[in-house]
Amino acid sequence: MNTILITGASSGIGRATALCFAKKGWNVIAGMRSPENETELKVIQNIMVTRLDVEDKESIQESIKLGIESFEEIDVLFNNAGHGSMGIFEAATEERIRKQFDVNVFGLMNMTQAVLSHFRARKKGMVINMSSMGGRITLPLMSVYHASKFAVEGFSEALSYELAPQNITVKLIEPGAVNTAFGRRPSDFYFDDNLEDYNQYRGQVIQALGKLKAEMLSPEKVAEVVYLAATDGSSQLRYVVGEDAKALINLREKSGDEGFIKQISQMF
């Protein structure tokens, strides 16, 4: 049986992916910050729930160690844990910006670096990184989030070159809007009503973005593409998921920077 280690498995895409792989006969190491609150995954025989916080290097090492002790080997790392945010950049605190990168970028890097020695020893392995259409295109009010996902894209593509001779594959999942709590919590937003110059534009953008999110992907649909990426035997780097993601990325590629930016500006 193959084994996948998933970060951020308590909800959303991470949870759906854990269930998808378990049903397909894989062993699953389901990492989450608060495993004591988990009930459903714990009773599934081929899922091991473990405490894993990508901002805590000790928990990263311990989860990998426990996973190998339980299942002997890890075949795939799915860096799913992430944090979404939206707001006016001028209102973003240094703490908020660092938090975005600590989870989406540095946590992902910490996980990847920690598992590579195991993959090299086995002479095979796969790293699947959760990106977003927001790593390929941009929308207003999401500058900090886009910055983190653009970093994931660049890191993953460059890393794929140096790991290929080690028989280690790197892949990226790029979904559009997904129906999860991601980016919906009040704490995910940073606005300042005292910055009145932005208020009218902010309202226009939020209204327009609401229309774009009218039809969202289910987490299960994204999980299916993660499974495809893990099992298709290809060296394909990017997997775009969702009609909105396909349309906007295609628009960027066909229109070029100037054309894309002009059309997005007209939308808002």
Mean pLDDT estimate for the chain = 95
What percentage of the chain reaches a pLDDT higher than 70?
98
pTM: 0.95
- Determine the structural domain holding residue 179 and report its residue range: 3-267
Of 82, 76, 261, nearest in space to 175 by CA? 82
Total number of domains constituting the chain: 1
Just list the catalytic residues.
Answer: 131, 145, 149
Question: What is the predicted pLDDT for the residue at 73?
Answer: 97
DSSP assignment string, 61-93: HHHHHHHHHHHS---EEEE------EE-GGG--
Q: Report the chain's terminal Cα–Cα distance, integer Å.
A: 49
Separation of alpha carbons 252 and 240, rounded Å: 14
Mean pLDDT of 166-184: 89
Question: What is the predicted pLDDT for the residue at 182?
Answer: 65
Q: What's the pLDDT tens digit per position in 28-66? A: 999 999 999 999 999 999 999 999 999 999 999 999 999
Question: What is the predicted pLDDT for the residue at 169?
Answer: 98
Q: What's the pLDDT tens digit per position in 198-216? A: 999 999 998 888 776 667 8
DSSP assignment string, 219-230: HHHHHHHHHHHH
> What CATH number does the domain containing 120 carry?
3.40.50.720
- Which of 158-167, 186-195, 203-212 shows the lowest mean pLDDT across its residues? 203-212
Q: What's the pLDDT tens digit per position in 82-133? A: 989 999 999 999 999 999 999 999 999 999 999 999 999 999 999 999 999 9
Q: What is the CA radius of gyration of the chain?
A: 19
Question: What is the predicted pLDDT for the residue at 212?
Answer: 67
128: Cα separation from own chain's centroid = 9
Separation of alpha carbons 13 and 242, rounded Å: 14
- The band of 183, judged by pLDDT with boundaries at 50, 70 and 90, is low
